[in-house]
Structure 1
């Protein structure tokens, strides 16, 4: 297990992570740190713990927004959509075709 020292605001935190996960942990801390100044202002006299909570909530809010976005259009999805429309069109044409005498 690796120990990574992270600095968020004015405080350092020693956090354990699996070996090889150090860079990802640092990236996660950097995202929290990005929101730290805004959270610190919003927390007023609430202290560092409240600011850290607000920073985490800001990040969680962004995560919720990302999760609610529709998935990106992939070439496969577009091709499947075109194929579906074509098959529906052929089925309609076959249903509406009058038999010849």
Structure 2
């Protein structure tokens, strides 16, 4: 088990991951940081900041779904599940983060 420190919205978050997954976690963290900057919510609480980033990412996934009867890349149910999981993770991160 490895730990990676991600800088998202000017805050550092320590994340545990499997050995060998560090680079992938860093790339995903950079994507989230980009969305936080895009949404201009880096001055919000960690949970709000991550919620806005997750909404932008979920919107991208939904927009990438084929139109006109094709098999969607992600169903509304899947997106809801992802959003709920991200909210839960953001809440845990906010509780664990020192007040800044």
* TM-score of the pair, normalised by structure 2: 0.57
Give the unaligned 5+ runs of structure 2: 72-100
Aligned match of 1:32: 32
**Paired residues of 1:8 and 1:29 also in contact (CA < 8 A):** yes
Query: What count of residue pairs does the alignment treat as equivalent?
Result: 68
After TM superposition, where is structure 1 displaced by more than 3 Å over at least 4 residues in a row? 45-48
TM-score under structure 1 normalisation?
A: 0.57
CA distance in 2, matches of 1:22, 1:60: 23
Unaligned segments of structure 1, at least 5 residues: 72-101
Residues 57, 22 of structure 1: CA spacing in aligned structure 2 closer, same or farther, 3 A cutoff?
same
Quote the Cα distance in structure 2 between the aligned partners of 1:48 and 1:40: 13
Higher radius of gyration, 1 or 2: 1
1:23 corresponds to: 23
Let me know the Cα RMSD of the aligned residues: 2.2
